[in-house]
Chain A
Amino acid sequence: KNEVEQSPQNLTAQEGEFITINCSYSVGISALHWLQQHPGGGIVSLFMLSSGKKKHGRLIATINIQEKHSSLHITASHPRDSAVYICAALYNTDKLIFGTGTRLQVFP
């Protein structure tokens, strides 16, 4: 069964801390997506990865194909980073399978 698991489910941090959110998946994905869901409910696509590493501002996403694992890192976290972060795997079809999300709260 194609599954996506995220950890941790909930994460709290002080402003400035380095954040890591993890995502593991089954074999055979063709792409891995990271999304951000704002407290108001809106969803924004952050990254699509099929290999290696991507960086956008303070966000870094990595993927290790052999270990079936991806991480999303936030450097110098800020209260505005508070959101739910979601990973989703594309399993050689056009269907995305989503994790249940990691709720991040960053306190000043």
Chain B
Amino acid sequence: NAGVTQTPKFQVLKTGQSMTLQCAQDMNHEYMSWYRQDPGMGLRLIHYSVGAGITDQGEVPNGYNVSRSTTEDFPLRLLSAAPSQTSVYFCASSYSLRDSGANVLTFGAGSRLTVL
């Protein structure tokens, strides 16, 4: 089924461990992005990419790394996990954020990360 696939759905880490959240889409979308969602706060952009080989920082990039070697994949790496990175993470993709069609932005199901 076409869409955005995020893995894992749940992960528990210890402080200092590293891990990668995977995001893949099969819609040939150029734009891909990672967000975190914390209680009482809106979604916040971590990193985004407008095409293969191009990435840029969002609002809260510290402690996270991304790469975009293919159109389909946009992994998010936590270099040294901290309790402040406990959150729900969403990956999303789009053909264009300015596209007037329906379902402009397609989200993955989310990944709940707990850092102890």
A residues whose Cβ falls under 8 Å from a Cβ of B: 4, 30-31, 33, 35, 41-48, 50, 56, 86, 88, 90, 94-101
User: Which residues of B21-66 are within 8 A (CB) of A?
Assistant: 31, 33, 35, 40-45, 48, 50, 56, 58-59
> Can you report 6 A-B residue pairs in the complex whose CB atoms are below 8 A from each other?
A33-B104, A90-B97, A95-B59, A96-B105, A97-B45, A99-B42
Contact yes or no, B104 A48, CB < 8 A: yes
Judged by a CB distance under 8 angstroms, whether B106 is at the interface is yes
- Return the 8 tightest CB-CB contacts between A and B, nearest first: A98-B42, A43-B107, A98-B43, A45-B105, A48-B104, A100-B42, A45-B103, A45-B104
List, in ascending order, chain B residues with CB within 8 A of A44's CB.
103, 107
List, in ascending order, chain A residues with CB within 8 A of B88's CB.
41
Contact yes or no, A94 B42, CB < 8 A: no
Which residue from chain A places its CB closest to the CB of B42 in the assembled complex?
A98
Judged by a CB distance under 8 angstroms, whether B12 is at the interface is no
Judged by a CB distance under 8 angstroms, whether B109 is at the interface is yes
List, in ascending order, chain A residues with CB within 8 A of B45's CB.
95-97
Q: A86-B43, A100-B42 are in contact. Are A43 and B90 (CB under 8 A)?
A: yes
Pick the contact of B109: A41, A94, A97 (CB < 8 A). A41
1/0 per residue, CB under 8 A from A, across B95-109: the answer is: 001111111111101
List, in ascending order, chain B residues with CB within 8 A of A94's CB.
31, 48, 50, 56, 97
Q: A45-B105, A48-B104 are in contact. Are A4 and B90 (CB under 8 A)?
A: no
Which residue from chain B places its CB closest to the CB of A48 in the assembled complex?
B104
Contact yes or no, B97 A42, CB < 8 A: no
CB distance from B2 to the nearest CB of A (A): 14
CB distance from B69 to the nearest CB of A (A): 19
Contact yes or no, A56 B102, CB < 8 A: yes
CB distance from B46 to the nearest CB of A (A): 11
CB distance from A92 to the nearest CB of B (A): 10
